[in-house]
Amino acid sequence: MFTHRRGICAVYASRLPFDTSRVKGCRLMNIMATIDAGDLIDAHGVAKILGLSHSNSVSTYQRRYPDMPRPAVDLGEGRCKLWLRSDVMTWDALRRVGHAEDAR
């Protein structure tokens, strides 16, 4: 099971063999959006979008910029983390606009 900032990852939820809307107290009832698996990228993909030379720099960016998108899928310490490409691209675009305004 993958956790996501909006609850349980919809990639997993979409594969459940039963109707979760009938399960009392089920966290899946709170899912607002589904995740397109094709939109998931790893740290290498994030680094490429942000123009970083190393994927290890992504963790530095996460510490430096608290508004940077958090991984949509985080399997724990030392394991794979996946971000939503659209979240990272939006954040990068907003950050670049902010830098351009600061330069004026």
pLDDT in tens, 35-83: 788 899 999 999 999 999 999 999 999 999 999 999 998 888 888 899 9
Asked if 56 and 84 sit in the same domain, the reply is: yes
Residue 16 pLDDT > 50 = no
Q: Are 2 and 75 in contact (CB under 8 A)?
A: yes
Residue that is written with structure tokens 């830098």 in the block: 99
Asked if 70 and 96 sit in the same domain, the reply is: yes
pLDDT band at 33 (very low <50, low <70, confident <90, very high): low
Residue 94 DSSP SS3:
helix
Q: Which of 71, 4, 1 is nearest to 31 (CA)?
A: 4
pLDDT score recorded for residue 17? 46
Give the DSSP letter of residue 42. Answer: -
Structure tokens of 26?
Answer: 């089920």
Look up the domain containing 18 and give its range. Answer: 1-35
Asked if 76 and 104 sit in the same domain, the reply is: yes
**Distance of alpha carbon 70 from alpha carbon 59, whole angstroms:** 10
Overall average pLDDT of the 6-24 stretch: 47
Asked if 25 and 60 sit in the same domain, the reply is: no
Asked if 31 and 1 sit in the same domain, the reply is: yes
pLDDT score recorded for residue 3? 47
Asked if 55 and 100 sit in the same domain, the reply is: yes
Beta strands in the chain (DSSP E): 3-4, 7-8, 40-41, 73-74, 81-84
**Distance of alpha carbon 75 from alpha carbon 1, whole angstroms:** 9
pLDDT score recorded for residue 41? 95
Asked if 45 and 78 sit in the same domain, the reply is: yes
Residue 98 pLDDT > 50 = yes
Residue 23 pLDDT > 50 = no
Asked if 23 and 54 sit in the same domain, the reply is: no
Domain count within the chain: 2
